[in-house]
Homo-oligomer: A and B are copies of this chain.
Amino acid sequence: MKKSINAYDVAKKAGVSQSTVSRVLNDYQFIKKETKEKVLKAIEELEFTRDEIARSLANRETRTIGLIVGDITNAFFSESAKVITRIAQENDYNVILCNTNHDEESLVQYIDSLKGQRVDGIIIAGADKDNKKIRELFDQHFPVILYNSIIEHDKANYVAVNNYQGARLAVEHLYELGHRDIGYIAGPEKYVTTHLRNIGFESALTHYNLKLNPNFVYTDEFLYEKVYAFTKKLLRQPERPSCLFVASDQMALAVLDAASSENIEIPSQLSVIGFDNISLAGNSYIGLSTVAQPMKKMARLALENLIVIMERKSNKEVSTLPVQIVLDAEVFSRKTTGVR
């Protein structure tokens, strides 16, 4: 295989030194116009493209970030990924996609791999509550930002929605529709997100003086099939909730699926409210009521702030205040919730 042409080849062809080629490539100001043109011409003729790997090695920056998500097929994550990749492209960053399937071990593996790959920074969407590895990252001042997660750490960077308030809003919405027997598809407690939603949920129950039937609560994994099976079983019970607060739209889809398969009409026989406001929720064929996260804004804030952090680091600036942003949630009432 013929070896690829490099900056030396260009230099030779243009009759200059290799460093001049490098200067042209980097838009260095003080270059004679003619020299620059010669180089540019040589580059064109040789179809030269600079080796970003070598550049990274010399530069100590890769212009690559890692994006770790729990499940890319969850629309909340894929919609976020879309925003993030777009902004990344605008800023000349590459995005390495890491899908953990909500598996902690995989998360850790990915973090190590990304560090070996010398990525400039990492966005972690779907961190568990107390991940040692992630704390380490913050301890080491590695540029990381949590997306839709929070970790108690004085140097932690995060952008998240107010999950606590969001959960309260959900209960409020259901309560005002006359519901008193509320079921809760919570998902696993180990995530920060779900944890906070749990606390918010409980506090709202207390507020309204409602009591929770423990049989009405799902705290297992996010898996579609499991949620589906649980809901199906729940709905067959003689005593069942009149409504369900579901901690993610993705799971809410499984709930609707289960209800539909049991011929339970929504919302007359069962109200369902989700969380996230994935774009499908707004589809009027589905019309999922939900607690909305300002997803686009969050995604933008996450990456833009990460970029600031990364650049600060590459300029060897002293670390400044951590980025800790919490945005408000908002209820969208659609077709799947109705008066009791």
Contact = CB atoms under 8 A, between A and B. Distances in A.
Interface string A112-142: 1101111000000000000000000000000
A253 B85 contact: no
A260 B284 CA distance: 6
A321 interface: no
A118 B257 contact: no
Contacts of A110: 89
B57 A53 contact: yes
Contacts of A316: 1
A250 B29 CA distance: 49
Given A57-B53, A112-B49, A116-B49, A97 B67 contact: yes
Contacts of A170: none
Contact of A118 (B52, B67, B109): B52
Contact of A53 (B62, B256, B280): B62
Interface in A308-333: 313, 316
Contacts of A257: 283-286
A79 interface: yes
A194 B82 CA distance: 23
Interface stretch (A15-23, A69-77, A171-179): A69-77
A260 B99 CA distance: 34
Contact of A57 (B49, B54, B72): B54
Interface string A59-92: 0001010010001110100110110011001000
Given A56-B53, A94-B113, A285-B256, A82 B72 contact: yes
B72 A116 contact: no
A269 interface: no
Contacts of A254: 283
B73 A99 contact: no
Contacts of A313: 1
Contacts of A115: 49
A72 B75 contact: no
Nearest to A71: B82
A63 to B, nearest CB: 9
Interface string A186-222: 0000000000000000000000000000000000000
Nearest to A56: B53
Contacts of A95: 96-97
Nearest to A54: B57
Most chain B Cβ neighbours within 10 Å, of A79, A82, A94, A279: A94
Contact of A286 (B71, B109, B112, B286): B286
A51 interface: yes
A117 B53 contact: yes
A302 interface: no
Contacts of A56: 53
A94 B82 contact: no
A12 interface: no
Contact of A116 (B51, B117, B279): B51
A35 interface: no
A261 interface: yes
A253 B62 CA distance: 39
B117 A94 contact: yes
Ranked 3 nearest A-B pairs via Cβ? A256-B285, A97-B97, A260-B285
